[in-house]
Amino acid sequence: MTFDYADRIKRLPPYLFAEIEKKINEKKAQGIDLISLSIGDPDLLPPKFVIEALKQEVADLKNHNYSFSQGEPDFRQAVSEWCKKRFNVDLQPDQVVALLGSKEGIANIARAFVNPSDYVLVPDPAYPVYANGSTILCDGTVVPMPLLEENNFKPDFESINTMKAKMMFINYPNNPTAATIDKKFLEQTVDFAKDNNIMICYDNAYSEITYDGYRAPSILEIDGAMDVAIEFHSLSKTFNMTGDRIGFAVGNKTLIAGLTKVKSQIDSGPPVYIQKVAVKALGAYFSSEIPEFLKQNNQTLQERRDLLVETLCKLGYKCDKPKATFYVWVNCKGDSIKFAAKLLDVGVAVTPGVGFGKYGEGYVRITFTQPSERIAEACNRITNAF
């Protein structure tokens, strides 16, 4: 018997990291101590009050029934209050939906709005879910928007072919380039979307992981954005809760309603106890200021960032200290897979930029979500590799 994959699965691009992954597995099998700076999964722990809340909420037997596809009312209320405090954005209850992590919402939004003939504008390089899990798995067509160093890794809207484009993904603070933006860029994005009748899916997963006083804006702060935009947020990075799978989308009512409609046929919302924990986590914000635990978290990340960037610059590799995210995007002056393989030989795994799209070639992404002493050891190894 043979079971053939659906055509949309066959259209997913080949896995570019296969060769690197084979090498990683070989090293591991040989018992080599590998430092993985390739995945953005925080080593730092959720704050203590979150763990206490989790223990309490999971023990409450009322919290083990089905939730709602749109999420618990108190969770949505907490999200609205957080958006008001953090961005001064006002939201009605029907402008919020709970997500099983923002990845789920990013993938499902296309199911609600993308038809087979529709084009979706996707940054290149980018978090792969916009092109793959979202657009291709909904039979849409990916139109890449190159993010070039000469444009500070922002799309050049004037050069984009908007024909048949219905949806656009935008992500700042950006993965993988770690680029950040100001409100002026968001105004241009909203104008471009309105002029061309394109819905904006704004991914703000890293809004709270920022340094040097930078505060990431929400696109919903921009006049008129509510007419065209949905914004995705996550507790994964803010509270070091990647495995707990909790996020949310906010914004335009029609976009939220479409996403909720899809979800009502697929899931029944995140576990109630996780939503209750999230209410307490988001309640740690009292103003637009970041709370104390996050200041400490970001201070630790910033020290690692500085060490990595200084090491790479000393070796002659161009990279700026990013104002946000836990990624360093390094111009590796050539083939990114070869560069990653060279570092693998000294026991450091990084991600070749080409894995994030054609325009990611010539760069590698290095994460700093390993304990500080491991980052220091990785820096020694990188120095010895050259």
Identify which of residues 103 and 323 has a Cβ nearer to ligand PLP in the complex: 103
CB of residue 273 to ligand PLP, shortest distance in Å: 18
Identify which of residues 203 and 208 has a Cβ nearer to ligand PLP in the complex: 203
Question: Residue 145: which residues within 8 A CB-CB, separation 6 or more?
Answer: 121, 122, 123, 124, 155, 156, 160, 168
Identify which of residues 247 and 360 has a Cβ nearer to ligand PLP in the complex: 247
Backbone dihedral angles phi then psi of residue 213, each to the nearest 5 degrees: 85, -5
With CB under 6 A as the contact rule, the residue among 70, 236, 311, 367 that binds ligand PLP is 236
Question: Residue 92: which residues within 8 A CB-CB, separation 6 or more?
Answer: 80, 253
With CB under 6 A as the contact rule, the residue among 42, 101, 133, 140 that binds ligand PLP is 101
Select the span of 15-23, 69-77, 98-106, 341-349 touching ligand PLP (CB under 6 A).
Answer: 98-106
With CB under 6 A as the contact rule, the residue among 75, 113, 127, 317 that binds ligand PLP is 127
Here's the x/- map for ligand PLP, 304-343, by CB under 6 A: it reads as ----------------------------------------
Identify which of residues 297 and 311 has a Cβ nearer to ligand PLP in the complex: 297
With CB under 6 A as the contact rule, the residue among 35, 198, 205, 328 that binds ligand PLP is 205
**386-to-73, 263, 315, 339, 346 alpha-carbon distances in Å:** 55, 50, 8, 11, 10
Give the strand pairing for 363-367 and 327-331.
Answer: antiparallel
CB of residue 247 to ligand PLP, shortest distance in Å: 4
What beta strand segments (E) does the chain contain? 35-36, 96-99, 119-124, 141-146, 165-171, 199-203, 229-234, 247-251, 327-331, 348-349, 351-352, 363-367
Tell whether residue 240 is a contact of ligand PLP (CB under 6 A): no
Tell whether residue 203 is a contact of ligand PLP (CB under 6 A): yes
Look at residues 268, 248, 6 and name the one whose alpha carbon lies nearest to residue 137.
Answer: 6
Select the span of 101-109, 220-228, 266-274, 367-375 touching ligand PLP (CB under 6 A).
Answer: 101-109
Distance CA 32, CA 244 (A): 30
Tell whether residue 171 is a contact of ligand PLP (CB under 6 A): yes
Distance CA 385, CA 91 (A): 52
| Tokens describing residue 242 | 């990647």
Binding site residues, ligand PLP, CB under 6 A? 40, 101-103, 127, 171, 175, 203, 205, 234, 236, 242, 247
